Amino acid sequence: MKSKFKGSIQLSAIGDAMGWMTEFERDVSGINKKFGVERIEKFYNWEKQVGGRYYGFIDKILAGSYSDDTQLTLSVARSIRDDGTIDNERFSKLELPNWLYYARGGGRTIKVAARKINRKSASWNNNYFNFKIGQNNIDYRDCGANGAAMRILPVALANIGVFEKMKSGIISNSIITHGHARAIIGAIIYGAAIDLIIHYTKEDFDAIDFLTDLGKTVKEKLALNKNENDWLNDWIEKWGTGWLFDFESHYESIIEEVLGQLRGLFIALRDDTDYPKLLSDLGCYKPETKGSGTATVLAGIFIAIKFYKKPKDAILNAVNSVGTDTDSIAAFTGGIIGAIYGDDIIPEEWKNIQDIDYLGKMAEHLYKINKGDYNSHSPIVMGNAHKTINDFEIDGLNKDDSFFFEPIGFGTITGIERQPVLISGKYALIVDIDFESGQTCRFSKVCNEKDGYASY
C-alpha cells in the first residue's frame, strides 16, 4: 500500500509536469514547433513568457519541472495534521499567500484567492472576493474551476477508508479558494475515486465495475453533512447572502449534472468510445469550460480507467489531449494510475521529475498518518523565522546564500538570473532555491535597477 501512496503522488506530479508542456498549445503543430515531436512522451527543457506585458520575463523551465498543481498539492500535504485532519489556518494564512512568491503556472482565480486571504477580515471559511476579467466582474461564488481538486490528493490519501472525514477535509480546503459547487464537487469526486480505486490490485481491477461502484455511491458521498460541521452552516448562510439563489439548491443542481456526466462515462466505456469524443462531450475543449472542476476530474478518471492496462499510455493520452487543461487532467490521471499500480511502474526516463525523493517522502508521511503512526518523524521542516524572498528590498543576493522560508524550511540559493523588463529602470530577479527538506523552488520579483545589479 505504501507503494500506491508514492505512485499516486509521484505520477500525479509527472502528469502535471508533462501536461504543463502541452497546456498552452492549440494543436500538434505547436508541439512540433516547440519540441520537434508530434507527441510528448518525455520531459524537455522549455521556455514560457510570464509576468505580463510590462514586467514579463522568460521562465526557462528545466525538464521535469512541475507546475502549481503539484506545488499546491505539497502545500496541502504539509498542512495535514497527524490525525489526518487538515490545518486550514496554516494552509490559508501561511502556505497559500507564500506560494505566490514561487508560483509557477497558477491560474487567475487561485492567485486572486491567495492574495485576498491575506486580508485581516478573511479567514479560511470566509474568503469571499471578486475580481475582473476584462469588463466582467467575477464573484468567488462563480469560481468553479479545478484549482481545488488539483491539490486535494494528500487529504484523500491521509484519510483512505474514512470517507466522511476525507470529505469534510476536502470541502473545508476547497472553499478557501473556490465558492462554486462545481469546484467542490469535482474535488470530492476525485477523493472518492482515489478512496475506491486504491483498494484494487491491477489483477482484479475492472473499469466497468469500478465506474458502476462509483456511480452507485456518488450521490450519497456528495451529500452535505451540515449537522456535523458548524463552519459549513456558517459558510452556506454567508454564501446565500445577497445572492440570487441559495447554495444548497445550487449544489444539488451540480450533483444532477455530474450524475448525467457519469452516465455518459459509463456509456462511453461500454461502447469503447474514443476518449477525445468523451472529453469533447464533457466540454474539455471549450475555452469557457476546459478547466471545469467536474469535467477535468471526470476526464482524468475516464482516461485512467480506459487505459489502465497500459498505464504509461493513459498518462500520455491525457498529456497529449491538446486543447484541454492537460496538466490538471494528466495529474488526475496519474494520481489514479499510481493508486492502482504503485511507484514500481514509473519508467526510468520519468524519474527525473522535479523533487522525486521529496514527493516520495511526503507520500510515505501521508501513508504513516493513514495507518495511525502519529509518532512518525515528519519530513516537514518548521521554524519561527519569517524571512521570505520579499524581505529583500534590494537585490543583494548571492549564490550559496542561505535563508529560512517558513512554509518549507531552510534553503540555499543555487542559481540567480537577472532579466530586463519592458519598464525602464526595473528588471526581473529569478532565484532558484534548494531546500533541506528536498523541495526546490524558483522565486521571482521585479526589482529597481541599482548600481552593481543592472548587468544581465
The reply to whether 299 falls in a domain is: yes
268 and 357 in a single domain? The answer is yes
257 and 404 in a single domain? The answer is no
For position 440, which CATH number holds? 2.30.30
CA-to-CA distance for 149 and 301, rounded, in angstroms?
13
Which of 370, 397, 426 lies at the terminal end of a domain, its last residue?
A: 370
- Residue-number span of the structural domain to which 216 is assigned: 2-16+67-370
The reply to whether 61 falls in a domain is: no
- Confidence at residue 23, expressed as pLDDT on a 0 to 100 scale: 95
Listing from the earlier edge strand, what are the strands of the sheet with 409-420? 402-405, 409-420, 426-435, 440-448
338 and 212 in a single domain? The answer is yes
Give me the residue label for grid cell 527538506.
437
The reply to whether 252 falls in a domain is: yes
The reply to whether 49 falls in a domain is: no
Which are the contacts of 394, defined by CB distance < 8 A and separation ≥ 6? 447, 448, 450, 453
For residue 314, give the 3-state DSSP assignment.
helix
For residue 10, give the 3-state DSSP assignment.
helix
The reply to whether 62 falls in a domain is: no
- Confidence at residue 394, expressed as pLDDT on a 0 to 100 scale: 57
- Confidence at residue 330, expressed as pLDDT on a 0 to 100 scale: 98
91 and 176 in a single domain? The answer is yes
> Which helix (H) or strand (E) segment is 115 a member of?
helix 108-116
Q: How many domains does the chain have?
A: 2
The reply to whether 377 falls in a domain is: no
For residue 128, give the 3-state DSSP assignment.
coil
CA-to-CA distance for 222 and 188, rounded, in angstroms?
7
- Confidence at residue 452, expressed as pLDDT on a 0 to 100 scale: 45
289 and 434 in a single domain? The answer is no
C-alpha R_g of the chain = 21
285 and 170 in a single domain? The answer is yes
Q: pTM of the full predicted structure?
A: 0.95
- Confidence at residue 385, expressed as pLDDT on a 0 to 100 scale: 43
Which of 370, 403, 429 lies at the terminal end of a domain, its last residue?
A: 370
419 and 346 in a single domain? The answer is no
189 and 147 in a single domain? The answer is yes
The reply to whether 38 falls in a domain is: no
The reply to whether 46 falls in a domain is: no
For residue 403, give the 3-state DSSP assignment.
strand
Which of 370, 404, 436 lies at the terminal end of a domain, its last residue?
A: 370
118 and 163 in a single domain? The answer is yes
For position 153, which CATH number holds? 1.10.4080.10
218 and 106 in a single domain? The answer is yes
Rounded to 5°, the CA angle 18-23-28 comes to 90
CA-to-CA distance for 74 and 338, rounded, in angstroms?
17
Residues of the chain predicted below pLDDT 50: 382-386, 451-452, 454-456
Asked if residue 413 lies in contact with residue 399, where contact means CB atoms within 8 angstroms, the answer is yes
116 and 183 in a single domain? The answer is yes
231 and 330 in a single domain? The answer is yes
First to last CA, the chain: 50
